[in-house]
Structure formats: C-alpha cells, structure tokens
Amino acid sequence: MEYIVSARKYRPMSFDTVVGQLALTTTLKNAVKSGKLAHAYLFCGPRGVGKTTCARIFAKAINCQNPTADGEACNECESCQSFNEQRSLNIFELDAASNNSVEHIKTLMEQTRIPPQVGKYKVFIIDEVHMLSTAAFNAFLKTLEEPPAHVIFILATTEKHKILPTILSRCQIYDFERMTVQNTIDHLKHVAQKEGITFEDEALAVIAEKADGGMRDALSIFDQAASFCQGNITYQKVIEDLNVLDTDNYFQIVDLATQNKVGDIMVLLNNVLNNGFDGGLLIQGLAKHVRNVLMAKDPQTLPLLEVSEQAKQRYAEQAQKVNTHFCYEALKLMNQCDINYRQSSNKRLLVELTLIEVAQITQAAEDSPASGRKPRRLKSLFKNLIQQAQTKQAVQQVAAAAPKIERTSKPGIANPVGTATQPTATVQANAAAPASPIKKSSLKAASLGLSWSNLRQQNNKKMQILPGTSGIDDKNGSRHEAFSQDMLELQWLSMCNRMPQKYSGIAARMKNMSPKILEMPQVEVVVPNEIAKDEMEAIKGNILSTLKIYLHNDDITMSLRVAEQKEREKILTRKEQFELMSEKNPAIERLRKMFDLQLA
C-alpha cells in the first residue's frame, strides 16, 4: 500500500475538522447557509495553517447541491463526488508562484466566460497570489472587480503586504491565526491514535514548539519522529532526533545562577557546546526561558506561555524561587549578548561572560579587588576623592590667605585695616616661598578632571542669591578681605549652582565665563555677546551682592565687557574636554583604565 504523509492523509475535508480556525470557518459556513457570497475572497496568514485547505472546502460547499443545515457539503451529490475524485470542472487551482505572467492571467480570464456545467459557480483558487507580477495584477484587476455572476475568486497568500492595495480593496479578507501549542498537541494526539503510535506528552510538546505555529510543519516533524522512534515517540528520542537542547539545561542554569554557582554553569555550558549546540542558540533559548519564568510569576500572564500544561506547572514552580529583578537584569544581559554575538570574534568567551554576569546578579556586592565583581559604587568612590581634594585645597587656601599677626616693616605698603599686614602682600609672599611637602603631595579636584559644580552638596548648598542681602558683617561693620583668583572662581561657580530655577539659562552660560581680578578689588567679566551682557546687567546687583558676601569684601566692583573675536574660545565637546584634561594630567587616563571607564 502506498505510504501517504500525515499532512496529506489527515488533511481536513470539512469545516468541522479544521484545527484552530473556529471563528473563520463559522463565518464561511454562515455565508454558505445564507447564500450571501462575495465574488472575491483573500485568505492570508502564516504557512501551514489551512489557507488552501479552507479554500478547497469552501469551494466544495459552494457548489454542493444539497448542503447540510450547518453549511457543510453533503459529499453525496455529483458536484461533491467529482471534487473528491479530483475531476471537477468547476473548481480550478492556479499556482501563482509558477504561473505569474500576464499570459497566464489572460488565459485564466478566458475561462471565466464559460458557465459551470454542474453546480452554480465556477471557483478559481489562486495560491501564493503575491507572486504575480505587477503587470499580471493589473490585467487581473478589471475581472476581479466585476466578474461574471457565476465566478468566485479565492486568493491565498502568506505575504499580504506584497499585494497591491487595489486588489485588497476588491476582496473580503480573512486572516488565519497561527496554531497554538495546545491545539497542535491535541491534533497530534488524534493522529497518533489513528496510526497506533504510542507517545509521551512532553515529546509532542517539543514537536509543537518546533513547528512554530504551523500544523503542516508539525505533522511533517511528527512523521520524522515516528520513523526515528519506530512507533514509540519519547521525549529523549525526539530531542535527539531534532537536535533540540533539553529544557532541563535552562532550568538548571537559572537555579545555579540564583545560587551564584558560576563554576557549575561553566561546566554545564561546556557540555552543551561539546554536544554540538551553538552558544548563540543557547542564549536565545535561555532568554526565552527567563521570559517564560517572568510570565509565570503572575497568574494573569501564565496563559501567555506557549507550552504544555506540565511545562507551565514547572515554570510556575521556578518562578516562585526567582525574584523579578533577577529576570529583568538577566533578560537585559542576554539581549545585549544576542545583539553582539554575530560581530564577536570570540563567541564562546562572550557567552561565558554573559552567563557569569547572570550568575552574579543576586550576589552581594564585594569590596575586594579580586572578587570578580564590576565596581558598583564608583560614584561613591569619586565622591570620597572629591571630598579629600576639597579638604586639602581648603587647608592650602586658608594657609595662603590668612593675614600675618606681626606688622610688616616694608615701607610704601599701606595697611587698610591697621591691625595686620595687607593680605595681598601675604599671598604674594606665600606664593614666592618654596612649596611645602604637603602641597606637593596634595590632590586637587581639578587634577581629576572635575569641576566645582560637583561640590554644591557642601556647606553652601541651601544658600541662594537674595536681592538686597547685606551679608554677615564683622565686628567693625565692614569687610575688606583680599581674595585670590582661585577663590573668585570658586565662589563664581558656587553662585551659578545656587541660582534659582528661573535663572537656569543664564546660570549655564555664566559657568563658561571666567571672572578676572583687574586690580584688587575690581573684577571684570568677559561675556560672549551682547545678549548675555544684557541678561547679566539685569541681575548684576544680585551677583555683586553675592560676591561681596562670600568673598568678605564690600569694596568689590564688577564690570562687564563683550569679548573680542580673538578672545572667544572654541566650545569643546565632552570628548575634547576629556582629552585636554588627560594631556594636562596623565593621572586621569590611568584612573580611567584602572576602573575600565568609558566616556558617555
């Protein structure tokens, strides 16, 4: 007896035997019962879901002389028998993949003029209609819009987007659904029982998942597995025959990752690769597995899992052991690995690093350099360095700016206060003196490539520019302390950081300006253009009051000047700023390499 594959042997012969398309078959049956038939139909959907099969069943029911009350063909009349024996002259099938020229369509159009000999309609089924050329589509348009009363067209395609909109607008469109895993398993059970084949439910679930929503693919894989297993389809034999990675591997990897057992994961990965499986497929399968675990954490999303009922139960059990944060982070890592896998020159190393990071998600952060953890508290480290730099520089500034107790005997130097040497002379004397060992070994914030804008969390954090503020007076009621260029720039940036939100625009521009001491206590600010100058003129009084308060000098005056063309500096990008700082201080580059940092 001739062997017939299951996909042909168990092809549905009626609407009731079609699997997974209940809404669509009900609509077609109702159309047959009521006699309200359109002149053109378009069946579209993925491969192997029953488009051509439904077109044949529909064409047979249309011409049935004694249809049942449910809209099914009777299989007894002359029209049904001729169709079953493949000798019907009223139903024509055309494969548009091999007959896609204008001549083929014109020949088909000639046949539409001849009325049916038996039955009411001539039905033309055009499979893979998207393969028709543009000229063939145009030749088909007029007949499709106004065909003879006895002609019905049924078009089938897997790629609806390739069909001209003028064709789509002339058809009733039916979208076929993908087969669900459970529907496929149920149908495979029916076929196995008919064939007398024993099976395991998990084995049929693997076949259904491998078919990816296509019933024809599922039946083809079923025949392959039945031949390999010799009538007893088991889970182990199916995954061996189909070269499918056992899902137990994914469950084990997740369990080991939550326990931070990196070594065991590496051994498992090595066994998987030695069995001939690709590392990229392992990552993809593991990502799908973690996604299923995440879906299984909520009873509402549990039905989204396209797996068997036994597998759903197993996913639900593992979901209780894994927290949601682990799933999110693991999916991010594996998605990034999947993106970089093709471009990687060492694919195994990429997979190993990804699995190591997944295994360390739930691991407690360690401060040991040899712990293998990437630095999680880098921000805190920089904060400590900044505080150390600020403390040391503040000590240096106090030592440099503090007035001497004894009077100077130098002639020609006036003492405005009358109790101490002029601070400016003290600063100059200290600058001329040889540097102390502490100053040589001190770490300045500028040497780390940091700006004073990062220091706004210090003591002056809550202060703002207040119009008309007189500041804190000393015992004599007036202040005349000298200040250095560094102190001026520090208070300037601090002021910009404390400015209210409504001045955020001008504050950002002021950060790029550098006030200079012309002659103590005269300050000059060079602005880039007239617009910035006008904006600063409006708040000049507030700026001056703030500088007087924090520099402790009531004699400060400030002038604004628009920069000349040669004075305007080029605005550097972040990368150019970093390169400039690295040239000035190689310690920045060493710090970057030490922590494996990248410029964002």
pLDDT, tens digit, 9 for 90 and up, residues 228-240: 888 888 888 888 8
Asked if the model's pLDDT at residue 431 lies above 90, the reply is no
**Cα 427 off chain centre by:** 57
* Domain contains 275: yes
Q: For the whole model, what pTM was predicted?
A: 0.56
pLDDT tens for 39-58 read: 899 999 988 888 999 999 99
Q: Are residues 163 and 45 in the same domain?
A: yes
Q: Are residues 57 and 152 in the same domain?
A: yes
Cβ pair 135, 105 in contact under 8 A? no
Amino acid present at 249:
N
The last residue of a domain, from among 129, 149, 175: 175
* Residue 200 confidence (pLDDT): 85
Query: Rounded to an integer, what distance in angstroms lies between the CA atom of residue 423 and that of residue 174?
Result: 91
What are the residues facing 232 on neighbouring strands? 198
* Residue 44 confidence (pLDDT): 92
Q: Are residues 167 and 278 in the same domain?
A: no
* Residue 395 confidence (pLDDT): 61
- 49: containing domain: 6-175
Q: Which of 384, 383, 356, 386 is nearest to 371 (CA)?
A: 356
Q: Are residues 191 and 314 in the same domain?
A: no
Mean pLDDT for all residues in the chain: 79
Average pLDDT over residues 494-504: 86
Cβ pair 215, 19 in contact under 8 A? yes
CATH number for the domain harbouring residue 222: 1.10.8.60
* Residue 455 confidence (pLDDT): 44
* Residue 386 confidence (pLDDT): 67
* Residue 350 confidence (pLDDT): 92
Q: Are residues 234 and 254 in the same domain?
A: no
* Domain contains 191: yes
Q: Are residues 553 and 501 in the same domain?
A: yes
* Residue 476 confidence (pLDDT): 53
Percent residues over pLDDT 90 in the chain: 11
Asked if the model's pLDDT at residue 427 lies above 60, the reply is no
CATH number for the domain harbouring residue 343: 1.20.272.10
Cβ pair 471, 549 in contact under 8 A? yes
Least confident of 137-141, 381-385, 534-538: 381-385
pLDDT tens for 554-590 read: 888 888 888 876 666 666 677 878 888 888 888 888 8
pLDDT band at 399 (very low <50, low <70, confident <90, very high): low
Cβ pair 373, 596 in contact under 8 A? no
Least confident of 108-117, 136-145, 233-242, 457-466: 457-466
Query: Rounded to an integer, what distance in angstroms lies between the CA atom of residue 198 and that of residue 15?
Result: 28
Least confident of 298-312, 316-330, 373-387, 503-517: 373-387
